[in-house]
Every structure is written in structure tokens, then in C-alpha cells.
Structure 1
Amino acid sequence: MQKTIHPDSETLTRIGSSVRGRLSESPAIRRVPVEGAEIYTAEQFLSPVHCSHLIGLIDAVACPSLLAEEKDWEGYRTSFSGDIDPNDLVVRALDTKLSELTGIDRACGESAQGQRYNRGEFYHEHWDWFDTSAHYWPREKRNGGQRSWTAMIYLNTVDEGGMTDFVHLGLKVQPIAGTLLIWNNALPDGTPNPLTMHAARPVVRGVKYVVTKWFRARCWS
């Protein structure tokens, strides 16, 4: 049987190899010991002052979170989110820091998105990569193509709940202020990795703030 050729797979293979090499050389980065996916963490990636500043930016723009196919998935994501000001000095510094860490051109990064989860709010199981057979793919193809890496930074330590749960890997990450969680959405051959399915579990006590940066195969627009 002929293997399916996925859009951007060659580019994602190249990006994956490059980022993998850079992260392996960084003493601040730790690879999470799971089979089948490339997931890394770094503690104290952002300072408390910068975390607090970003929380303020999120509160200023947060609206009910949407999905690419909202009409088919009502109630699947109950958080609040919004793109934070790309011209803010702290946001610009974060963009630069992530670009230097990964080696991915800043032009390939989507605008940083902030998310706020109040008590009881969640985001059920999903992938960050795009379904190239979905109706929205032509739009995303024009806007930079497939997502390569996801970088997520927890801005506060959640009192209880709110874990990032990689459901096929037996990995649950507890939100701790300033911690970076970064992973490759593709397999080494550049095809989407189904094992990167993850969920934001409900916050039981307190509130959860996250800033997320998605990188594309090509320049994002």
C-alpha cells in the first residue's frame, strides 16, 4: 500500500531534527521519559514578575474559547482565551526566547495565546496539529501550514487539578508557575503524531493561567 504523503511532512522532519538537537544541548531542558513522543520541560523558564505581567494581559483579552469546528463540539472547551498583545515588551521577549531556544524563526510562530481556566473549566482530549482532511485545512494551509511544535508556559501554580494529561502516554503534568512544557506535534518522519493527544483537566481549586505558542511549518500569517 502506498504511504500517504502528508502536507509539510518534509519540512516538519527538518524542523523536528533541528529542534531536537538544540533542546538536547540545553542544560536547562529535560526530556520527559515517555515512549512515542518528544516532550520536554524547563523549570523557572519565566520569572514570577513576567508571569504576573502575562496574567494581567490575559485577563484583559480573555473571551470564551473557540474551536476550529465549534458547531460540532459544543461544550468541549470551557476555558477563556485570547491572543495577547504581540507588541508588549514581555511578550516580545518571550517570543525571542522561544525562538532562540528552538531555532525556529519567529515568523513561523503564531501570536501567543493566553488561556484562563476557572474552577471546573477544562479542555477535553485534542491534538494541536491540524486534520488536513477537515474543511478548515485550506485556510490553515495558507496561514503557514501544519503546526510543528507547541510551547506552553504555566503562569501560576494551580491549587488542585488543571493537569495537562497526555492520554495515550500515561503522562500528567501539574501546572507549576514559570514552567515550560514543549513538544513536537509530529513524528520523526514529519507526519502528525497521534500520541500527542492531550487534555486540560478541570481545575478543582483555584485558577489556571497558561500562555501557549504554536509554531508552523512555514511563515504564519
Structure 2
Amino acid sequence: MTTAKHRSAPFPDQQPLARIGKAVMARLDSNPHVHRLPVDQAHIYAVGAFLDETECDALVTQIDHVAQPSTLFAEDDLKAGYRTSYSGNLDPSDPFVQMVTRRIDDLLGLRSELGETLQGQRYLPGQQYKQHCDWFHPSQPHWKHESTHGGQRCWTAMAYLNDVEEGGETHFTHIGMKVTPQKGALVIWNNATPEGVPNEQTMHAAMPVIKGFKHVVTRWYRVRPWK
């Protein structure tokens, strides 16, 4: 993932970012169960009760089984406590994980091969992920690898698996909007502008959990099949 300190350089994959962004936005805008959040700086959507209680609880169990200290592409940020959660990829061969993944794919209208493995994240009291964007900056060393493994991230879909007693909001820091975790709800955003330029207004942070815990699953999509 891209942290706040990497912001300036020309960006590749502009045409597919624009094309995919337009198609997904049209699909979401036409779905009466999907709500676009009232901000102009980025295209952010929400779906209430996307997962039911049983599905959320099953995903929480799977996350707890695979969770390890979270990592970053920019390892120096870990030294500053930039990301203190636990995370892990869920088994892509598991039929239940496949069902959840395909449901997200169908909602966005994106081919499954564009999506990264469904990843679970767990936050305990005090844990957080400071502000970052999900798109990659081509000046970073890892871009050479990522450019040949699906290229730029176009869309993010993240589902909350529990209500949090206090804290744990998703804070879109440049926009000034906080999304409160709601069990079963799905939040979706376009990581690029309509012109296909990675959108710095999607900068977001997982605010520290104050009471309770927080579990989420995230699926990132690329502009080309992810390898």
C-alpha cells in the first residue's frame, strides 16, 4: 500500500483505470441497494447488510486462524507503528471464501481474476493503520514488481464484520469523513479519478480501536489479472 509521504510522479495505467472506473460506477449507480456517499472528491459507495450475521462470524473465525502482524510495502513505516493490526489472506480454495469473493465481484461487475486474495484484518484496542492510499506509487521500489502482477489497484471493497464499541472508524482524512463500522456493511471506493489518475482524496486511515475489537475483510482489484 502507498503511504502519505509518496505523492508525486506520473502514473501508468491511466486508460484502464478510467475505463474500469466508468464501468463500475455505472453499475453501482444503477443498483438501488448501493448508496453513494455524499462527497465530491472521490467515488465512495456503501451497501448495508451485505453480509449476514452468520457470514460475518464465520469470516471472523477464519481471520483469527490466519492473522499475523500486518506488513507494508514500505517497511520503514512499520518502525514508526504505521500499521499495528494483524492480517492474513483467507484460503481462496475454501468454498465459503469463494462465495463471498464472487458476491463482491458480481456487485462491482469485475472479473474475478482482477481481484487479489480476500484479506482479513483484525484490530485490538490501540491498534490502527495510519493514513495511506491503496494505489501504488510508481516511484516506490515495489512498483516494478506490482506493474507486472496486475498493475495499478483500481477499486477497493471492504466489509465490516462486527460493530466496534468505540473507535475503529475508517477516516478519509483528506475529505474529512469518517465511516463507523457496522456489522455486515460493505464500503467500496474508486482509487482513481474519472480521468484515470490515482486519487489522493482516497487517503484513509483505520482509526485506533478504543474499546472492543474490529474485524474486516478487504478485496483489492487491479487493472489486469492479478498473479
Question: Which TM-score applies when normalising by structure 2?
Answer: 0.94
Query: Which of 180, 186, 200 is the equivalent residue of 1:194?
Result: 200
Query: Which of 66, 70, 75 is the equivalent residue of 1:61?
Result: 66
C-alpha distance in 2 between matches for 1:188 and 1:98? 21
Q: Secondary structure at the match of 1:33?
A: coil
Cα deviation, residue 116, structure 1: 0.1
Q: Secondary structure at the match of 2:147?
A: helix
C-alpha distance in 2 between matches for 1:166 and 1:59? 27
Q: Which amino acid counterpart does residue 140 of structure 2 have in structure 1?
A: A
Q: Mark the CA change 1:27 to 1:56 in structure 2 (over 3 Å): closer, same or farther.
A: same
Q: Mark the CA change 1:81 to 1:7 in structure 2 (over 3 Å): closer, same or farther.
A: same
C-alpha distance in 2 between matches for 1:131 and 1:197? 13
C-alpha distance in 1 between matches for 2:77 and 2:134? 17
Preserved CA contact (<8 Å) 2:60 2:161: yes
C-alpha distance in 1 between matches for 2:23 and 2:78? 35
Give me the CA root mean square deviation.
1.0
Query: Are residues 1:30 and 2:32 paired?
Result: no
Instruction: Spell out the pairing of 1:11-160 with structure 2 (5 A cutoff).
Output: 11-74=16-79, 75-160=81-166
Q: Secondary structure at the match of 2:99?
A: helix
Any stretches of 5+ residues in structure 1 without a counterpart? none
Deviations 1:32-54 (A, max 9, x none): 00111000000000011110110
Q: Which amino acid counterpart does residue 48 of structure 1 have in structure 2?
A: E
Cα deviation, residue 71, structure 1: 2.6
Q: Which amino acid counterpart does residue 24 of structure 1 have in structure 2?
A: D
Query: Are residues 1:220 and 2:226 paired?
Result: yes
Aligned residues: 218
Runs of 4+ in 1 over 2 A off after TM superposition: none
C-alpha distance in 2 between matches for 1:203 and 1:38? 26
Deviations 1:148-184 (A, max 9, x none): 0000000000011000000011110000100000000
Q: Secondary structure at the match of 2:29?
A: helix
Question: Which TM-score applies when normalising by structure 1?
Answer: 0.97
Q: Secondary structure at the match of 1:96?
A: helix
Any stretches of 5+ residues in structure 2 without a counterpart? 1-8
Identity, % of aligned pairs?
49
Preserved CA contact (<8 Å) 2:70 2:83: yes
Query: Which of 161, 164, 175 is the equivalent residue of 1:169?
Result: 175
